[in-house]
Amino acid sequence: MSAEETRPRYRHIGGGRGEIEVPERVDLEYRGGWEIRCFLWTGSEYWYAARTHPVPTEAAARGVVESWRGWSSAEAMRAWLTGQQQSWDAWAASSPLDS
């Protein structure tokens, strides 16, 4: 199999900024809690993920973040988002319930 055959195919959204449809539709898996975008710059995937709801200050101590951006891949982003969910769950389990 040639490199051309194994390279992911990208669907450009338009607008002149290099935005592409999120590879492997990771955005659909996490659409309830995250805004996820991807850009194809210099032949590499640049990802942006931001929570759709504010993160409580106390959750940051458990590793929960509001947003992240950087060079990545669908597999790595999925793993990072799973880690964020685990951090959120750990924080939620240790937090007192609202009365």
Tens digit of pLDDT for each residue in 40-79?
998 899 999 999 999 999 999 889 999 999 999 999 999 9
Q: What is the pLDDT of residue 46?
A: 97
Q: How confident is the model at residue 96 (pLDDT cuts 50, 70, 90)?
A: confident
Q: How confident is the model at residue 99 (pLDDT cuts 50, 70, 90)?
A: very low
> Structure pTM?
0.83
Give the containing element (helix H, strand E) for 87: helix 74-94
Q: What is the pLDDT of residue 13?
A: 87
In sequence order, the 6+-apart residues with CB closer than 8 A to the CB of 81 are 26, 29, 30, 34, 49
Q: What is the pLDDT of residue 6?
A: 56
Q: What is the pLDDT of residue 89?
A: 94
Q: Mean pLDDT of all residues in the chain?
A: 89
